[in-house]
Amino acid sequence: MTRKCVEIIRRNTLYPRHAAAFARAAGRFVCEVTAISGEYRVDGKSILGLISLEPQIGMTIIIEADGEDEQVAVDILAKILEGYY
């Protein structure tokens, strides 16, 4: 299992289209992807799940992946959350 904490620092990571980009990218990986914020854990491949986290600037989201391509998944998904994709 691989995890990475990402702080939301860019306004453009707050929009539903970015949640869709994250979910689409997560769907390309074999591993299971989970996004965690506080006590909430959602499927990283679910657009609605990601939107339900209600990301705000300054918030930390943990990306967790478990499976054969977990390291690559976490690295790419972190870049999407950081707004560098």
Rounded to whole angstroms, the Cα distance separating 78 from 48 reads 18
Amino acid at 28: R
- pLDDT of 27 reads 98
- pLDDT of 55 reads 84
pLDDT per position as a tens digit, 5-57: 999 887 766 678 888 999 999 999 999 999 999 999 999 999 999 999 988 88
Number of helical (H) and strand (E) elements in the chain, helices listed first: 3, 4
Sorted by where each starts, the structural domains of the chain and their CATH numbers stand as 2-82 (3.30.1340.10)
Higher confidence at residue 13 or residue 77? 77
Confidence tier at 82 by pLDDT (50, 70, 90): confident
Is the pTM higher than 0.85? The answer reads yes
